[in-house]
């Protein structure tokens, strides 16, 4: 019995960091392959609703450009957390969009038809012009703990920034290889 308790304590110490690791780190190719849609959008509004005991914020989007998925002029994506009927629910690591801003979003749609961000914040690139009037795509570093896909080792996500033209060229290259269609 003593050996079982010792083994349990050792396993707990080794596995404890994994319980907090909620996100698998995704490369740009992974995001492209796993997404059902990749779209450049402008956020035009939002609303929240209750789904069981969970609150979700639904972001209404005007599609500016579509790289993958059905051509559409509008879309909606939902993220966990928000405020409804005087109740507020915060979900650590859940990305928040801002009405009026432009983004390149990597999306996936469930079998039930609900659309979510691929890899949570990993699938959100905010678009803005730099001092030279070039469009930049910036993804903030994840606030949630991340793990490598194969090793399950904890990794630090520092975010990503590149020119929009470079980002879309990389997406197009992955799609041209037949991955993700």
Strand arrangement, sheet containing 21-24: 21-24, 145-147, 154-155
In a domain, 6, yes or no: no
pLDDT band for position 22 (50/70/90)?
A: low
CATH value at residue 37:
2.40.50
Mean pLDDT, all residues of the chain: 86
Question: CA–CA separation, 181 vs 52, rounded Å?
Answer: 33
Residue 115 — φ and ψ, nearest 5°?
Answer: -110, 135
Residues 47-73: what's their mean pLDDT?
96
Question: CA–CA separation, 135 vs 169, rounded Å?
Answer: 14
- Long-range contact set of residues 73-80: C-beta below 8 Å, sequence gap at least 24: 75/37, 75/39, 75/41, 75/107, 75/115, 76/115, 77/105, 77/107, 77/115, 77/116, 77/117, 78/114, 78/115, 78/116, 79/116, 79/117, 79/120, 80/54, 80/55, 80/56
Residues 30-39: what's their mean pLDDT?
97
Q: What is the pLDDT of residue 143?
A: 75
pLDDT band for position 18 (50/70/90)?
A: very low
Q: In DSSP terms, which residues pair with 136 in a beta bridge?
A: 128, 163
Q: Is residue 30 over pLDDT 50? A: yes
CA geometry: angle at 164 spanning 63 and 170, to 5°?
100
Residues 136-144: what's their mean pLDDT?
88
Percent helix, strand, coil in the chain (nearest 5)? 25, 45, 35
In a domain, 15, yes or no: no
In a domain, 14, yes or no: no
Residues 94-114: what's their mean pLDDT?
96
In a domain, 8, yes or no: no
Q: What is the pLDDT of residue 149?
A: 79
Residues 134-144: what's their mean pLDDT?
89
Q: How far is CA 174 from the centre of its chain?
A: 18
32-46, 102-116, 118-132, 143-157 — which is least confidently predicted? Answer: 143-157
In a domain, 83, yes or no: yes
In a domain, 143, yes or no: yes
- Determine the structural domain holding residue 80 and report its residue range: 21-176
Q: Is residue 9 over pLDDT 60? A: no
pLDDT, tens digit, for every residue of 153-173? 888 888 899 999 999 999 999
pLDDT, tens digit, for every residue of 104-113? 999 999 999 9
| Structural domains in the chain (count) | 1
Residues 44-59: what's their mean pLDDT?
96
| Residues 6 or more apart in contact with residue 41 via CB below 8 angstroms | 61, 62, 63, 64, 75, 102, 103, 104, 105
In a domain, 3, yes or no: no
In a domain, 156, yes or no: yes
């Amino acid at each position: 019995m003593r050996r079982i308790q010792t083994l349990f304590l050792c396993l707990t110490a080794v596995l404890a960091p994994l319980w907090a690791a909620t996100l698998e780190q995704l490369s740009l190719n992974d995001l492209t392959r796993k997404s059902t849609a990749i779209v450049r959008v402008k956020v035009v509004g939002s609303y929240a609703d209750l789904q069981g005991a969970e609150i979700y914020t639904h972001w209404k989007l005007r599609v500016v450009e579509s790289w993958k998925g059905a051509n559409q002029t509008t879309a909606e994506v939902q993220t966990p957390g928000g405020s409804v009927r005087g109740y507020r629910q915060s979900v650590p690591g859940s990305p928040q969009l801002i009405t009026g801003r432009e983004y390149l979003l990597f999306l996936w749609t469930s079998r039930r038809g609900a659309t979510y961000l691929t890899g949570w914040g990993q699938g959100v690139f905010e678009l803005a012009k730099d001092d030279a009037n070039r469009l930049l795509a910036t993804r903030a570093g994840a606030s949630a703990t991340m793990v490598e896909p194969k090793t399950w080792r904890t990794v630090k996500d520092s975010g990503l920034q590149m020119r929009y033209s470079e980002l879309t060229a990389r997406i197009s290259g992955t799609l041209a290889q037949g991955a993700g269609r």
